[in-house]
Amino acid sequence: MSERRPLIGITTYGPEIKGEEGIVRFSLPTAYVDAVRLAGGVPVLLPAGEAHVGDLLERLDGLVFSGGGDVDPELHCGGTHETVYGIVRGRDEFELDLARRVLARPELPLLGICRGMQIMNVALGGDLELHLPDRRGDGLLHRTVAREPTFHPVRVEAGSLLEAIYAAREFPVCSWHHQELRKLGSGLRPVAWSEDGVVEGVECDGHPFAVGVQWHPEMQLAEHPLQLRIFEELVARARSAPEVRGVRG
């Protein structure tokens, strides 16, 4: 009998109106699904609006919080900026609720990617710099002027989970963001940085695997197979989730 493949929930974009036909849609880049499958998990898409979040978590073995548009500033710093885009308040509220619940459940591994790491931070009481070039300048691009991804190296802390996963202290990442963590949420520890000081990775104290990365590992699998390792670690830890839940009752 083959080993059970764990169910990995992935948050989706939306709901948003797409195309000239004006249809409201949930969406997600296929790279997230591909990465979870390659790592041995079964992807389950999680659209915003689910009212019974507790029931949802009883059926999942791990979660990925995906990227996407900005988190509504009203939910963290209260400011405004002309570059803020893609706000979907319903998605923000759903993911913040989901994140707080998962962070309180150590048996459920969690990976936050780009916006997903920012959601983790806001869920724990942190806030975001609304446009990081205003603080860091343009010496290191984290997103091109055309709002396209770019690449730069990150450095990870010795002894961190990220160092153990990647077996490296420095490696290139695919970056596609214009905001950064400012005040860190309660219990979040920075463990990776770009050369201009932007926090690129966090881990949550007290949780065996609640990891956030500011880069997009799912977008690098062809050129840098090293990036699959973080999904493989998520799935490996998720394999034990049903058994842990049984022990915890």
Catalytic residue status for 77 = no
Query: What is the distance between the alpha carbons of residues 152 and 20, in angstroms, rounded to a whole number?
Result: 36
Q: Give 138's pLDDT tier (boundaries 50, 70, 90).
A: confident
Q: What pLDDT was estimated at residue 243?
A: 64
- 23: its two tokens: 């249809």
Which of 76, 95, 107, 114 does the annotation list as catalytic?
114
Domain ranges of the chain: 7-248
pLDDT digits (tens, 9 = 90+) for 48-101: 999 999 999 999 999 999 999 999 999 999 999 999 999 999 999 999 999 999
Q: What pLDDT was estimated at residue 245?
A: 59
What would the mean pLDDT of 167-173 be, rounded to a whole number? 97
- Quote the strand ranges of the chain, DSSP E: 7-11, 13-18, 23-27, 42-46, 62-65, 110-113, 128-129, 150-156, 170-175, 180-181, 188-193, 199-204, 210-213
With 80 as the cut, is the pLDDT of residue 12 above it? yes
Catalytic residue status for 114 = yes
Which of 95, 177, 216, 233 does the annotation list as catalytic?
216
> CA-based angle 77:80:84, to the nearest 5?
105
pLDDT digits (tens, 9 = 90+) for 118-136: 999 999 999 999 999 999 9
Q: What pLDDT was estimated at residue 53?
A: 93
Q: What pLDDT was estimated at residue 247?
A: 47
Q: What pLDDT was estimated at residue 1?
A: 42
pLDDT digits (tens, 9 = 90+) for 183-232: 999 999 999 999 999 999 999 999 999 999 999 999 999 999 999 999 99
Which of 107, 129, 200, 218 does the annotation list as catalytic?
218
Beta bridge partner(s), residue 129? 180
Q: Is CATH 1.10.357.10 the right assignment for the domain spanning 7-248?
A: no
Evaluate the CA torsion angle 212, 215, 219, 225 in order and state its sign: negative
Residues in the chain: 249
Q: What pLDDT was estimated at residue 248?
A: 44
Q: What pLDDT was estimated at residue 249?
A: 39
